[in-house]
């Protein structure tokens, strides 16, 4: 969760996170925005990841967040990664 209460999913790879001070994130929403033609990936009960607008934020935005609100199962994380690669390439 970011400042202002935005729920997000960190999509940058672990090796990138270890080397850089920034994280690549996408917003997670609870409703589908089909009418807005948003590029979404369902995260099941968690909501939907808005993959069409990834953002880069400082890792310091997560200071004080000791534990994630939710952790994706590896299979679902792979689906999100696959959909992102379709947009931005390998």
With a pLDDT cut of 90, the percent of the chain lying above it is 23
**pLDDT for 34:** 56
Instruction: State how far the Cα of 2 lies from the Cα of 60, in Å rounded to an integer.
Output: 10
> Between vectors from CA 77 to CA 39 and to CA 3, what angle results, nearest 5°?
70
Token code pair at residue 84? 């992102």
Q: Please give the domain boundaries of the chain with CATH numbers for all domains.
A: 3-88 (2.30.30.110)
pLDDT at 63 over 90: no
Coil, strand or helix at 23:
strand
Read off the pLDDT of residues 16-43 as tens digits, 9 standing for 90 and up: 889 999 999 998 888 665 546 678 888 8
**pLDDT for 65:** 72
């Amino acid at each position: 969760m970011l400042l202002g209460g935005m729920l997000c999913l960190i999509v940058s790879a672990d090796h990138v996170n270890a080397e850089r001070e920034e994280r690549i994130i996408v917003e997670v929403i609870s409703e589908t925005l089909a009418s807005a033609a948003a590029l979404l990936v369902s995260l099941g009960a968690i909501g939907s990841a808005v993959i069409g607008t990834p953002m880069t934020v400082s890792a310091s935005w997560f200071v004080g967040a000791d534990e994630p609100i939710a952790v994706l199962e590896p299979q679902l994380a792979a689906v999100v990664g696959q959909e992102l690669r379709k947009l931005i390439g390998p």
